[in-house]
Structure 1
Amino acid sequence: MGWVLLVAGLVLWTGAHLFKRVAPEARAGMGDRGKLLVAVLVLASVALMYFGYRDAYGPVWWGRHPATVGINNLFNLLAVYLFAASGMKTRITAYIRHPQLTAVKTWAIGHLIVNGDLASFVLFGGLLAWAVAEVVLINRQTARPAPPAPASMGKEIGAVVGTLVVYGLIAWVHYWFGYPAFG
């Protein structure tokens, strides 16, 4: 049952996110109701992926190692920063067109480095494939926007502080769910 939930969650996540790209007229016709629908589908997909991943068993090619845990943590710290930078339009957003999708790709690669089991390859590899597809579709459909104006030092500092706080919360949630982020 875990595999069914995991794959269903990935399909639902991908479909909800790509709907705007593959059927823009249909999505635009839904107006604000479409935003609510996508939000509900995304939340449902996260629940399906969580429960599916937890219960999916399969081959394990490598296990956790202090070096891979450290690499994963660095990748995830960068991913959280890219999300913060996107929201605050920090200087790095002048160089990275899709900071949030780059964050997802960075996060997925970090998790693939530390988790050498089939369920992780399906979950994190699937989300990595979705993020790559999303970038390709966006780049084909929209011109590159002008880079944002340089952010103030306050925004840069705020993004770093926010990153550290959110990263700490993510680590705590990982421990709470039984997936230690360190060690």
Structure 2
Amino acid sequence: MTLLIAGLALWCAAHLLRRISPETRARLGGSGKAVIAGLLVLSVVLMVLGYRGAEFVPVYTPPAGSGHINNTLMLISVFLFGVGGTKGTLYPKIRHPMLWGAVIWSVAHLLVNGDRASLVLFGGIGLWALVSMALINRAGAWVRPNNGRGIKGDAMNLFGTLVLFGLIAMVHKWLGHPVFEGSYY
């Protein structure tokens, strides 16, 4: 659990630095992006190693059939991650699409994982996303972006979502957590 908590703390600190201490982030200058990126990669490695090595301590039993809800929420989550990049019809309508994607990702995983390490990892990432949205909202009013690509952006995002979801499912199966098999439910 130590590695998991350290990774989660590093993830939060690296992401929130710009919001909590803009002066510190500004002092890092352009090279600060590389430093932050390196810290984020390290945080992911620590979280993965910590989660995989954590003792399984059950906290609650996930509801039967929750795997189907998880998969649906994950499709929505992955789609939201792509909204800003593909600039479809939702782009000017949803503030913080990636952070909302992280919240939905968190909820989806908490539906099917009732152990302590999952509560720390998925609950922690969800909490980080909510705190990030609150800090960004507090910093100023949202200036809605221009419409972007419209339906073409949505089509690009949908295609990318399906491909990425397929890759995510393959990685989960490779790690021993099959997304579409009965043992997952």
Q: TM-score range by the shorter chain?
A: over 0.9
1:164 Cα offset (Å): 0.3
Residue-pair matches, total: 180
Name the counterpart of 1:54.
52
**Structure 2 unmatched runs, 5+:** none
Deviation at 1:100, TM superposition (A): 0.3
Aligned-pair distance for 1:150? 5.2
Distance in 1 separating the partners of 2:104 and 2:150? 25
Unaligned segments of structure 1, at least 5 residues: none
Q: Secondary structure at the match of 2:30?
A: helix
Q: Deviations over 1:108-134 (max 9, x none)?
A: 000001111111001000001100000
Superposition pairs for residues 118-133 of structure 1, below 5 Å?
Answer: 118-133=116-131
After superposition, give the CA deviation of every residue in 1:35-73 in whole Å (9 maximum; x if it has no partner): 1011011110101110111111243121574x1111111
Tell me what 1:33 maps to.
Answer: 31
The change in CA–CA distance for 1:178 and 1:64 in structure 2 (over 3 A counts) is farther
Instruction: Report % sequence identity.
Output: 43
Is structure 2 residue 78 aligned with structure 1 residue 80? yes
Aligned to 1:21: 19
| TM-score where L is the length of structure 1 | 0.93
Q: How large is the RMSD of aligned CA atoms in angstroms?
A: 1.4
Q: Deviations over 1:111-168 (max 9, x none)?
A: 0011111110010000011000000000011320124315332222111111100110
Considering fraction of residues, name the structure with more helix. Answer: 1
TM norm structure 2: 0.92
Distance 1:28 1:78 in 2: 34
Alignment of 1:1-183 (within 5 A): 3-60=1-58, 61-63=60-62, 65=64, 67-149=65-147, 151-183=149-181
